[in-house]
Amino acid sequence: MRKVVFALVALGFLPSCEREDPARVGEDYLTFIEQGDYAGAYRLVDKISREHVTEEQFVKYWQDAEAKYGKPIKHEILETGQDSGVITIDYYWYYQPPASGDTSHYESMRYYRLNLKRDFRGWRVKFLKYTVTEKPR
């Protein structure tokens, strides 16, 4: 009985420990997208973005992007930094051409910046661009 309880406790802490390293969260997010595991990537998105974008909308966004720009197949992290409490990860994404054959928007490599913010569950990817401000009372 004691072994089972320990295993459950250890497994319960594993996901939150992994979210303590923003670089790991960014790596996981990009890898999920490359693998087509959009549900896995969505689980790493911050609360505010998830309040405004459903999982279905998120999946459709990535499917549409893949149809237009090609499938991201690997990434290369260039630099990780911090700006106003947000962790930034600059990276290249390498693509294979779109399955449709339309290469009008295709580039084999593109530069991006991923932003991560910390919430009560650890580091999360900011999918939407937003700024939190206080309302006057």
| Whole-model pTM over 0.85 | no
Q: Is the pLDDT of residue 39 over 60?
A: yes
Give the CATH number for residue 42: 3.10.450.50
Residue pLDDT, tens place only, 104-129: 999 999 999 999 999 888 999 999 98
Of 23, 27, 51, nearest in space to 40 by CA: 27
Across 31-35, average pLDDT? 98
Phi-psi region at 91: left, alpha or beta (left = phi > 0; alpha = psi -120 to 50) = beta
Q: Is the pLDDT of residue 15 over 50?
A: no
Decide if 136 is inside a domain. no
Decide if 130 is inside a domain. no
Decide if 133 is inside a domain. no
Decide if 40 is inside a domain. yes
What is the domain extent for residue 86? 2-125
Return the higher-pLDDT residue of 98 and 12.
Answer: 98
The 3-class SS string of 73-110 reads: EEEEEEEEEEECCEEEEEEEEEEECCCCCCCCCCCCEE
Are 122 and 24 in contact, with CB atoms under 8 Å apart? no
Whole-angstrom Cα distance, residue 137 to residue 50? 27
pLDDT for position 9: 35
Are 44 and 126 in contact, with CB atoms under 8 Å apart? no
Amino acid residing at 113:
R
Whole-angstrom Cα distance, residue 55 to residue 45? 10
**10: confidence class by pLDDT, cuts 50, 70, 90:** very low
DSSP character at residue 132: -
